[in-house]
């Protein structure tokens, strides 16, 4: 007796199975199911009604098991294969999207390059920077002129106007050390020694000091030493405290004369600092260097006269 199913056949007497178009694992599982079905059918053959019912029940579960082990869609393609096809299609879709995006970007860049847009943008950016620097220089020159007028007429109003112009120049170009030094001079003229010292510190910071030449840097260090001496003197007058900036002042002066050996004013101030600390020989050497730089320096001559006493 042969039992026929979709895609396979089985002999209930011999248990021989013929299966086509199925994977090897599925064929083995079906063989196991049908052997169990054949043995069960023979066992229940002696009870006609019960054996027939059990045979149909086993056949139903066998078919259900086959369908679960080898699911197929309505078109006969296994679900596993359809899932793999869906994954491959999704990957291909994302690859196509990425490829289209790259092609669009390349087209945009080519369009910009053909119309010389990058060069025009860089030229406009450079022009804007040059315009800002030009405006900063204009404000700087105006501030210097106002400060000169304030010093000649001893007018604090002009000094404040000069400070405002220089601050505008700093806002346009913060890396210009000369603007910070000019602001310090305007603040010093108004009597704001501590604020002036802070402005010189900014001018000598790594952000701005690169814009100064050696001579300008030497003069800036000399101005900072002078302001530190003045701030220390005012501090001593207020609370009779010791001078805590002497080491920093001497360091600034040594750097100033190293950058500009002919800076007679820096040599004189260095000699005064050493004389105040009781370093007479070092002070004499500093005054002598000042006279070498400027033979008409009266401060150095007076310092040497004091040391001879």
pLDDT, position 287: 93
Per CATH, the homologous superfamily of domain 213-309 is Tetratricopeptide repeat domain (1.25.40.10)
- pLDDT tens digits, one per residue of 191-236: 999 999 999 999 999 988 998 999 999 999 999 999 998 888 877 7
Give the closest residue to 289 by CA, choosing from 262, 309, 269: 262
281 vs 68, which has greater pLDDT? 281
Give the closest residue to 238 by CA, choosing from 294, 193, 269: 193
- pLDDT tens digits, one per residue of 259-293: 999 999 999 999 999 998 889 999 999 999 999 99
- pLDDT(26) > 60: no
148-154 long-range contacts, Cβ below 8 Å, gap at least 24?
150/186, 150/189, 151/189
**Percentage of the chain exceeding pLDDT 70:** 69
Across the chain, what does the average pLDDT equal?
A: 78
pLDDT, position 121: 74
Q: Which residues pair with 18 in a beta bridge?
A: 9
Give the C-alpha separation, 209 to 214, whole Å. Answer: 10
pLDDT, position 55: 57
Q: Domain spans of the chain?
A: 2-70, 80-115, 213-309
Model-level pTM?
Answer: 0.58
């Amino acid at each position: 007796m042969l039992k026929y199913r979709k895609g396979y056949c089985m002999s209930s007497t011999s248990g021989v199975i013929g299966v086509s178009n199925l994977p090897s694992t599925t064929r083995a599982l079906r063989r196991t199911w049908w052997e169990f079905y054949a043995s069960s059918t023979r066992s229940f053959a002696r009870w006609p009604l019960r054996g027939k019912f059990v045979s149909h029940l086993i056949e139903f579960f066998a078919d259900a098991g086959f369908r679960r082990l080898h699911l197929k869609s309505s078109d006969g393609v296994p679900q596993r294969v359809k899932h793999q096809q869906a994954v491959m299609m999704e990957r291909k879709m994302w690859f196509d999207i990425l490829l289209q995006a790259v092609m669009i970007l390349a087209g945009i860049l080519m369009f910009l390059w053909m119309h010389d847009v990058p060069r025009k943008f860089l030229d406009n950016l450079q022009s804007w920077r040059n315009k800002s620097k030009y405006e900063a220089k204009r404000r700087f020159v105006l501030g210097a002129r106002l400060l000169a007028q304030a010093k000649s007429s001893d007018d604090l109003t002009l000094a404040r106007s000069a400070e405002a112009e220089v601050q505008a120049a700093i806002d346009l170009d913060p890396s210009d050390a000369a603007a910070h030094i000019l602001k310090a001079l305007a603040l010093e003229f108004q009597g704001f020694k501590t604020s002036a010292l802070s402005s010189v510190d900014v001018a000598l910071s790594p952000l701005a000091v690169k814009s100064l030449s050696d001579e300008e840097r030497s003069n800036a260090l000399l101005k900072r030493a002078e302001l530190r001496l003045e701030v220390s003197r005012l501090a001593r007058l207020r609370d009779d405290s010791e001078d805590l900036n002497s080491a920093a002042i001497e360091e600034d002066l040594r750097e100033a004369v190293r950058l500009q050996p002919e800076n007679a004013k820096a040599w004189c101030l260095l000699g005064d600092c050493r004389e105040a600390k009781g370093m007479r020989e070092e002070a004499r050497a500093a005054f002598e260097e000042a006279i070498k730089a400027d033979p008409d320096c009266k401060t150095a001559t007076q310092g040497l006269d004091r040391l001879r006493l």
